[in-house]
Structure 1
Amino acid sequence: MNRTDELFFEIIETYQRHARAVKNAKYQKTREMAELVLDTDITAMWFLTQKTQGTRCRLM
């Protein structure tokens, strides 16, 4: 596994933790902040797959 793959899997694990935070958020403001972080995670995953052609092909 190369470093790009490792980063991608780390981002997925982080995304899953943040998704649990959204699900378990007690207050609306906390939920909104966690959702913003999730959006950042999704953007990071998208950029990671766009920067490396081989990774993008394997994910599709």
Structure 2
Amino acid sequence: MNAAKQSQISDSLEVGDRMNREVGTNDAEINKEVGTNDAEINKCEMNKKVSSIADILEV
């Protein structure tokens, strides 16, 4: 019976490790996408500022 419990514990730990790895991978993908979106937003903001400056200089 002791060996059966140890086997169950071992199996549970393996499943937990696998889940942690998958969550870590998903977190990395989400962070990568958020970083990409932030870069796009910053680029758009810079384009607006440059456009505004150009409008001012034309006056």
TM-score class, shorter-chain normalisation, is 0.3 to 0.5
Q: Which has the larger radius of gyration?
A: 2
Structure of higher RCO (CA pairs closer than 8 Å, 6+ residues apart): 1
TM-score by length of 2: 0.45
